[in-house]
Amino acid sequence: MEKRRVVITGLGTLNPLGKTVEEYFNALDNGVSGAGPITRFDASEFVTKFACEVKDFDPLQYIDRKEARKMDLYCQFAVVASDQAIADAALDLEKIDKSRVGVIIGSGVGGIETMTAEVSDFVNNGNKPRFNPFLIPKMIADIAAGFVSIKYGFMGPNFATVSACASSSHAIHSAYDMILLDEADMIITGGAEAAITIPGVGGFNSAKALSTRNDDPKTASRPFDKDRDGFVLGEGAGILVLEEYEHAKARGAKIYAELKGSGISADAYHITAPHPEGLGARAAMTIALKRAGVKPEEVDYINVHGTSTHLGDIAELKAIKDVFGDAVYNINISSTKSMTGHLLGAAGVIEAMACIHAINSGIIPPTINHFTDDPEIDPKLNLTFNKAQKRDVKIALTNTFGFGGHNSTMILARVED
């Protein structure tokens, strides 16, 4: 049986760089930082007082007030990004077979803002058990997929993936496999996160994972820089419409790129630290290349996980060099987390979108905030420091890794008939 092909026909996002795909891509091209002081709560007593927030978001501009009250912020982000992607894909909802359309949306922590508020109210009200009747559906990580499915009547595969920072990449991986297996013709997929909360910032501070560069937030995310001191917490959502190639052609869909292959693996090493030799990352990339039928020398761009932590950045580059050998020196590499911050469960999808943009625009987004070379990093690598670079990109690879040792790699390509 001829292998089915999977393409991307719709994009949607709101993230620290913009509330539309166009705003996001423009900010990437221009090396804009989304970091600034935290406005969501009083962070004056916190070790880290800044983050990459979605700016000026009013859910009532997009969602009916009654429905918005039933949603945590992460779910509101997911619904808005899904609306954008579905509109971008120009779906005729009267003609498509909705039983063949699924929704798979990942989130690392789900409704943490809702849970925080409800527990706080419980304590402040003298431990009286008065809870919002929507507490449970607002909190659970799968409800975003449920809302989108209900809104549009999509009755295909419907669930969430939860694998920390790899959540949206695993959602896309699952969607890809289901389309290949003919379990769906189209899946709305990606991830959403809204963890800029008291426990979110406090917890990551206690783990010493966040940058504490409070004097200059916009330069705090410094992947591969000698003086990097942790990641910057971000938030938002990204959604892709994945579609079987012949199905997309038959309806005359605009096609952004093809998802050629994906690979997943585990470090089986530590709950928060990466394997020091990058073994899990290496396995995910190797599997993805094999599934895609792509040789290492055919890859033009790698969007790395690149969180701006000392251990993570070094381990990932070691894994990349192991997989790509001498071909690595002909590849552009960059970390867009230097601009967006780390969107946790939504990181993988917006970084896949950065790859799609590079394929369609011929512009490699930069790794901004590079000031001092790290002697542990090979100076011959092209890490696309500080300014975007022009390049014809036919094939791009993106990595996403999560606490617990979860690894995911996707390979995206220009569509060739």
User: DSSP letters of 254-294?
Assistant: ---EEEEEEEEEE--S-SSSPPTT-HHHHHHHHHHHHHHT-
Token pair 């927030």 is found at 53
Domain shared by 125 and 154, yes or no: yes
**What was the pLDDT predicted at 416?**
83
Asked if 186 and 157 sit in the same domain, the reply is yes
Indicate the residue among 250, 275, 294 that finishes a domain.
250
Residues 155-177 pLDDT 10s: 999 999 999 999 999 999 999 99
Q: Are residues 311 and 245 in the same domain?
A: no
Given a contact cutoff of 8 angstroms between Cβ atoms, the answer to whether 172 and 117 are in contact is no
- Helix, strand and coil percent figures for the chain, each rounded to 5: 35, 20, 40
Contact 109, 77 (CB under 8 A): no
CA 87 from chain centre, in angstroms, equals 20
Domain of 21 in residue numbering reads as 6-250
Give per-residue pLDDT as tens, 140-157: 999 999 999 999 999 999
3-class SS of residue 344: helix
Is 260 within a domain? Answer: no
Q: What is the CATH number of the domain that holds 355?
A: 3.40.47.10
Residues 161 and 59 in one domain: yes
- Does position 314 have pLDDT exceeding 60, yes or no? yes
Residues 115 and 184 in one domain: yes
256 occurs within a structural domain: no
Whether 293 is covered by a domain: the verdict is yes
Same domain, 112 and 188: yes
User: According to the model, what pLDDT value does residue 127 have?
Assistant: 85
Do both 227 and 269 map to the same domain? no
Q: Looking at the domain assignment, is residue 324 inside a domain? A: yes
| pLDDT band at residue 384 using 50, 70 and 90 as cut-offs | very high
**Domain match, 280 and 235 both:** no
Structure confidence at residue 2 as a pLDDT band (50, 70, 90): low
Alpha-carbon dihedral of residues 222, 398, 194, 143, nearest 10 degrees?
A: -170
pLDDT > 70: percent of the chain: 100
Total domain count for the chain?
A: 2
| End residue of a domain, out of 195, 217, 250 | 250
342, 357, 370, 406: which is the annotated catalytic residue? 342
Amino acid found at 224: F
Mean pLDDT of 350-358: 98
pLDDT band at 51 (very low <50, low <70, confident <90, very high): very high
The reply to whether 342 belongs to the active site is yes
pTM of the model: 0.97
Is-catalytic flag, 75?
Answer: no
Q: Is the pLDDT of residue 324 over 80?
A: yes
Same domain? For 236 and 309 the reply is no
Beta bridge partners of 239: 12, 190
User: Which one from 305, 357, 370, 406 is the annotated catalytic residue?
Assistant: 305
pLDDT in tens, 185-233: 999 999 999 999 999 999 999 999 999 999 999 999 999 999 999 999 9
Positive/negative CA dihedral, 111, 114, 120, 122: negative
Q: Residue 362's pLDDT band (boundaries 50, 70, 90)?
A: very high
The answer to whether the CB of 253 falls within 8 A of the CB of 9 is yes
Burial of 301 per CB tally in 10 Å (0-12, 13-18, 19+) = buried
pLDDT tens by residue, 6-27: 999 999 999 999 999 999 999 9
In a domain, residue 157? The reply is: yes
Q: How many CB atoms lie within 10 A of CB 181?
A: 9
Give me the residue label for tokens 């423009």. Answer: 26
CA angle 89, 249, 1 (to 5 degrees): 120
Q: Tell me the C-alpha distance between 234 and 65, whole Å.
A: 25
What pLDDT band is residue 398 in, cutting at 50, 70 and 90? Answer: very high
For residue 102, which of 246, 259, 242 has the smallest C-alpha distance? 242
Tell the residue number behind the tokens 């008065």, with chain if given. Answer: 130
Q: Of residues 52, 75, 165, 355, which has the active-site annotation?
A: 165
- Tell me the pLDDT of the chain averaged across its residues: 97
Q: What is the pLDDT of residue 130?
A: 87
Would you call 357 helix, strand, or coil by DSSP? Answer: helix
Confidence at residue 164, expressed as pLDDT on a 0 to 100 scale: 97
Given a cut of 90, whether residue 411 has pLDDT beyond it is yes
In this model, does residue 1 exceed pLDDT 80? no
Instruction: Among 217, 250, 283, identify where a domain stops.
Output: 250
Q: Are residues 278 and 394 in the same domain?
A: yes
Please indicate, yes or no, if residue 336 is contained in any of the structural domains.
yes
The reply to whether 241 and 271 lie within a common domain is: no
Catalytic site includes residue 52: no
Whether residue 111 is contained in a domain is answered as: yes
Q: Which two tokens stand for residue 43?
A: 């962070």
Structural domain includes residue 205: yes
Label residue 128 by pLDDT band (50, 70, 90): confident
Residue 17, CA distances (Å) to 46, 256, 343, 389 in order:
24, 21, 12, 19
Identity of residue 218: K
Query: Is the same domain home to 274 and 242?
Result: no
Answer whether residue 65 shows pLDDT above 80: yes
Q: What is the pLDDT of residue 255?
A: 98
